[in-house]
Structure 1
């Protein structure tokens, strides 16, 4: 299996041969453009998660999937080509990078990886840093029809296992800093994204991740193609859930579905059940 991750050392050797996307983002914070201008991986292009990787908030949630035409335009502007590998990084524990990784794969790009440890790992390793705007040659990639599993609120309850990627206190309904209702989808199992990482911010080894998701009810048949099929993942708005999907892929357990609307869409309908505790 080819890992969906790349190390900082590997990236050093790939500069100039891959398209590098900087997806720095903070939930509820300002866009990451200022941080990008202050320093980024040489040759990287900045991607705005809210504008490029999501549609406008509405009944489908806070971060609905973007229109393929919007995604195509954004990725071409950033230099993404159909025949060239793509490397994505952020400074948010790979949450935003995972969203970009998932969207590109979902719409047909076969060679997309995430920088393990992100921007902080790059800086800590002494990687070269560029500042200001990047002159990027436009790409030619076109977003094709979605090909990865996706579920809506009506299909979610039928999933064999539903994973909630949010923090435990949000899952339990003790706090809800963003959405109007606290709690979780009935029957969902909490697998917080923070548990996918080691103390240094890099992903846990595949074997450890397999154990983690097996304990949650995923992958009874062991690692392999489609081993995560039957599972569905959600979070607050469909962004950080992609982190669990990335971790499942690292573990060799692909095939789980994303619920794009996630909790923000689920609670928009007062008739949908909510569980706490």
Structure 2
């Protein structure tokens, strides 16, 4: 089973005898000063895949921002309740989509996989890939699901674990290269990267149309970054969202990877933690 699904295959499955639960997690990171936050719920109401339930990344796929970062992991019990309200069942496939960037969908994918759901996929290319197929404005009213989250099915890093992996394994930084180098930092307290981390921008995982690059290309990309020689691989980003997309891309490439969920926004909360700048992993 792959972690992604094409729009054509999803359309067929929705018309089949065992349609998947659909989750709409449209979200955007706003970095413009004074810009209003993206309203995913309004976008959902204006048109969504038929039967999809909206899930709010900021409020339902993350805890309150603070010392653990801008998007810390949600309380597991509360996350389970959100998934059950959305109709998620342990024995039913789940397909997740967002507006096309894939970051938010990957975050929901990672959370469901981490908490033990066996059959979760991301719509490759997001809503844009749905093309001219019809959308719905009707609010979905799914039957209550039965999913009970049990964390631990995927590897998770804390700050100390990320630091150790940067020294002894391979820690990939999924943010844009200029943020890694410390030239700009539009969101967090300070720019730069975890010493020893390797720059691996998430944007390079996808083609021009927003769909994932073929698995062989992804495998070659990650091998060139050091996965072929690393016993363990981990990923971080700004707040654990785009890094989930990188973990998904690594899975497509056949490379298991741990997520540092707190990521840079947690790392830089503690001013005693070291910060490296420039294009090289070490200062």
**TM norm structure 1:** 0.93
Measure, in 1, the Cα distance between the counterparts of 2:231 and 2:42.
Answer: 39
> Which residue of the partner structure matches residue 34 of structure 2?
none
Measure, in 1, the Cα distance between the counterparts of 2:66 and 2:100.
Answer: 24
Measure, in 1, the Cα distance between the counterparts of 2:100 and 2:181.
Answer: 23
> Which residue of the partner structure matches residue 260 of structure 2?
259
> Which residue of the partner structure matches residue 184 of structure 2?
175
Deviations 1:124-160 (A, max 9, x none): 2x22210142122111111113221111111112210
CA contact (8 A) 2:100 2:125 kept: no
Given candidates 128, 137, 146, the residue that maps to 2:134 is 128
Are residues 1:91 and 2:90 paired?
no
Deviations 1:88-111 (A, max 9, x none): 000141100000000000000000
> Which residue of the partner structure matches residue 205 of structure 2?
196
Unaligned runs of 5+ in 2: 31-36, 279-283
Aligned partner of residue 227 in structure 2, secondary structure = coil
Are residues 1:58 and 2:55 paired?
no
Are residues 1:143 and 2:149 paired?
yes
Measure, in 2, the Cα distance between the counterparts of 1:31 and 1:217.
Answer: 38
Measure, in 2, the Cα distance between the counterparts of 1:14 and 1:253.
Answer: 28
Deviates more, 1:29-38 or 1:108-117: 29-38
Given candidates 168, 182, 196, the residue that maps to 1:187 is 196
Aligned partner of residue 155 in structure 1, secondary structure = helix
Q: How many residues align?
A: 266
Aligned partner of residue 88 in structure 1, secondary structure = strand
Aligned partner of residue 142 in structure 2, secondary structure = coil
Any residues of structure 2 matched to 1:154-233 within 5 Å, and which? 154-159=160-165, 160-220=169-229, 230-233=232-235
Aligned partner of residue 146 in structure 1, secondary structure = coil
Unaligned runs of 5+ in 1: 221-227
Measure, in 1, the Cα distance between the counterparts of 2:150 and 2:234.
Answer: 22
Structure 1 consecutive aligned stretches of length 4 or more whose deviation exceeds 4 Å:
none
Measure, in 2, the Cα distance between the counterparts of 1:165 and 1:113.
Answer: 21
CA contact (8 A) 1:79 1:139 kept: yes
> Which residue of the partner structure matches residue 44 of structure 2?
36
> Which residue of the partner structure matches residue 78 of structure 1?
86
Deviations 1:136-195 (A, max 9, x none): 211111111322111111111221011000001111101000001110111111111100
Any residues of structure 2 matched to 1:264-275 within 5 Å, and which? 264-275=265-276
CA contact (8 A) 1:26 1:92 kept: no
CA contact (8 A) 1:18 1:87 kept: yes
CA contact (8 A) 1:19 1:79 kept: yes
Measure, in 2, the Cα distance between the counterparts of 1:40 and 1:8.
Answer: 13
1:115–1:229 Cα change, 3 Å: farther
CA contact (8 A) 1:184 1:275 kept: yes
> Which residue of the partner structure matches residue 7 of structure 1?
6
Are residues 1:250 and 2:256 paired?
no
Aligned partner of residue 25 in structure 1, secondary structure = coil
